[in-house]
Structure formats: C-alpha cells, structure tokens
Amino acid sequence: MKSIAIRFFSPQDNIVSSPKTEKATKTKNRTLTGYISPIGKLVFPAKTVADLGIDFDNTQFKVGMPDGKRKAKSLYLVPGADSQQDTFQFEKAAKSYTLSLSFILTKSGVDFSTNKYTFVIDLFDYEGSPAFVLQLSQDKGSPKAAYTGKPRGRKPKVKVVAE
C-alpha cells in the first residue's frame, strides 16, 4: 500500500492558546459508524467498539489528518504507546466511548455546533500496526414537518369588535 503522510496532533493542539485566535478485527460484516457530538467529541457507540475489538480503556491513540489539507474530510487514529506524549485517551460514557477534539475540529473546518457529522470507520495498517480512518460526512437531515393534527389546549378567546 502507498505510504500516507499523516500530520499528528498533540493534546496541546486541542487547548485554546488565546481566546481569539491489541489488533483490530471486524467480527461482523457491517459498516462501523460514529458521530461528532454538538460539543466536539468523537463518539464511538458500544456496538462499534465491540466490533472493533480494541480495549479503549487501556489504549491511547495518536490523532492526525492528511498533511497539507486545511479542511478535515478524514481523521486518522493510530494506537500509540503509553509512554508517548502526543496521545489521546478515550473516555467511557454511558453507552459509548468519547474523545474530546473540539478545538482541533474547529481549526480543521468542521462546524459541529450547527451541523451534525457522522463518520465511517475503515481499518488500515500504519507501520505494521492496525489503525483507523474516520471518513467524515455531514448529515443532510430534513427539517421537522409542521404539526397538522388536531389543535390541543384551550381555545383562543374570540375578540368582539364593538361598532
């Protein structure tokens, strides 16, 4: 496979500097997906984590995107050693695992606060170790239709016009 140039982020890249400025295997043949929350966290649902086969509690990841790109269309997650400094740790949520990358995503042109983003997870080998590619896509959800049923509640008062 062709070598991929990846620029990795450090946890310091995810902090606002100034207020202005084990082996992954698929057990089932289904697409592995996740989404970006409105506060800028990558969310991996429990079913996806189970299908990936990696212990997210004890594994730290290096996060990167293709070098030379200004807008993120894909993110790379490469398992790193615990002794490495530029690694991120997933946090356990109720039914998922999350990784907070709000500042990195904002700098990379992902507007997660107003648009919902999902991603598809693909596996690849990076320097002999299994890694993930997250292909980002924006959801084009339809707006909610207006309620057309019977009106509820009190009837509005009828205003009498005096002549």
Residue 27 confidence (pLDDT): 47
pLDDT at 120: 92
Residue-level pLDDT at 98: 92
CB atoms within 10 A of CB 139: 9
Q: Which helix (H) or strand (E) holds 91?
A: strand 91-92
What's at 151, amino acid-wise? P
pLDDT digits (tens, 9 = 90+) for 89-122: 889 988 899 999 989 989 888 888 888 889 999 9
Read off the pLDDT of each residue in 137-148 and give the average, rounded to a whole number. Answer: 74
Look at residue 141 and tell me whether its pLDDT is greater than 80.
Answer: no
Q: Where are the domains of the chain?
A: 30-138
26-81 pLDDT tens trace: 445 678 899 999 898 999 998 988 888 888 888 888 898 888 888 888 899 988 87
The C-alpha atoms of residue 13 and residue 73 are separated, in whole angstroms, by 18
Predicted TM-score (pTM) of the model is: 0.67
How many residues are given for the chain? 163
Ramachandran sector of residue 132 (left: φ over 0; alpha: ψ -120 to 50; beta: rest) = beta
Q: What pLDDT score does 153 carry?
A: 85
pLDDT, average across residues 81-88: 78
At residue 46, the 3 state secondary structure works out as helix
Residue 75 CA to residue 65 CA, distance in Å, equals: 5
Beta carbons of 108 and 65 less than 8 angstroms apart? yes
